[in-house]
Amino acid sequence: MRYVITEYDEQERARLSALAEITDPYTFYQLDRLGLSPDWHCLEVGAGIGTVSLWLAERLDKGGDVLCTDLQTTFIDEIDHPRITTERLDITEPPTHTERFDLVVVRSVYHHVPDRELALRHLGAMLRPGGHLLMIEPDVHPIFSDPHPVWRRAWQAYFQWAGRKGIDPYTGQRAPNQLADFGLRVVSVEGETRLFNGAAGDNPARDLYRQTLHIILPELVAKGFLPQADSDEIDALLDRPGAWLMSPCFIATHAVKPAVAG
């Protein structure tokens, strides 16, 4: 399985922590709304550091549990909770758990998977009939109205790079139709877009985008997608408190697997 991150080290842990800090509140709001029941069997796919699984586990009892999975279990293996089991799961491989889960949560994973149709087939197979899927995926559309030209150019370069890696930067807005085409009933689609600036101190959005860009900017420059001068300017922009930058919109799609197929 191809994934752009290959090192699951302390730097990646910090990046995933920043991602969790900015997306957890909205994810928990979405989970609260879908009517979670304490006896549910839940699955998190591509859990990263597992904050969503931990939140779910605290709301379960009466036999409810969470299977917390990732392609690489380095971080989730540290979780010690009586209602959480951890397991390696590659969403591109045939599932070993079928029609088992009342809830499957996928956040910021699906857009990385080049064969999204295959991933969807596997996600659908793991849901029990009547089960819920919450998919929260980024969509870059807000960035193209950002007032900072260099920020727009950097994301344009990301587009070219992502296209070659099989990453879809418009996954957030495409997911609802992809889920519906697959036979799931789409219940709701909502997005959250954050603007952030370079203010000093605790600033998880700035940290997330700085760390993510530091991973990919050298390649964007090396491949000729972005001039070196732009790459240098981005570093300065990310430190400027007065520059409010658009982040991708995280689009949450809640869908249900029909109780009777078809």
Ligand X SMILES: C[S@@+](CC[C@H](N)C(=O)[O-])C[C@H]1O[C@@H](n2cnc3c(N)ncnc32)[C@H](O)[C@@H]1O
The residue ranges that bind ligand X (CB under 6 A) are 1, 3, 16, 19-20, 23, 45-48, 70-72, 89-92, 107-109, 112-113
Q: How far is CA 54 from CA 19, 40, 83, 205, 215, in A?
A: 15, 14, 9, 22, 28
Q: Which is nearer to ligand X, 135 or 238 (CB)?
A: 135
Q: Count other Cβ atoms within 10 Å, centred on residue 253.
A: 28
Contacts of 134 (CB under 8 A, 6+ apart): 27, 30, 31, 34, 103, 104, 105, 106, 107, 252, 253, 254
Question: In angstroms, what is the minimal distance from the CB of 209 to ligand X?
Answer: 13
Question: In angstroms, what is the minimal distance from the CB of 186 to ligand X?
Answer: 21
Q: Which is nearer to ligand X, 192 or 239 (CB)?
A: 192
Q: Which is nearer to ligand X, 45 or 179 (CB)?
A: 45
Contact 251, 189 (CB under 8 A): yes
Kind of pairing between the strands at 127-139 and 84-88 = unpaired
Lookup result for tokens 């994810």: 27
Q: Which is nearer to ligand X, 87 or 219 (CB)?
A: 87
Question: In angstroms, what is the minimal distance from the CB of 76 to ligand X?
Answer: 9
116 vs 70: CA distance, rounded Å:
16
Question: In angstroms, what is the minimal distance from the CB of 40 to ligand X?
Answer: 19
Dihedral of alpha carbons 116, 135, 94, 46, sign = positive
Q: Which is nearer to ligand X, 52 or 217 (CB)?
A: 52
Cβ burial, residue 26 (10 Å; 0-12/13-18/19+): middle
Q: Which is nearer to ligand X, 142 or 166 (CB)?
A: 166
Contacts of 177 (CB under 8 A, 6+ apart): none
Question: In angstroms, what is the minimal distance from the CB of 118 to ligand X?
Answer: 10
Question: In angstroms, what is the minimal distance from the CB of 192 to ligand X?
Answer: 13
Nearest position to ligand X, beta carbon:
48
Q: Which is nearer to ligand X, 76 or 238 (CB)?
A: 76
Question: In angstroms, what is the minimal distance from the CB of 12 to ligand X?
Answer: 8
Task: Assign 75 to helix, strand or coil.
Answer: coil
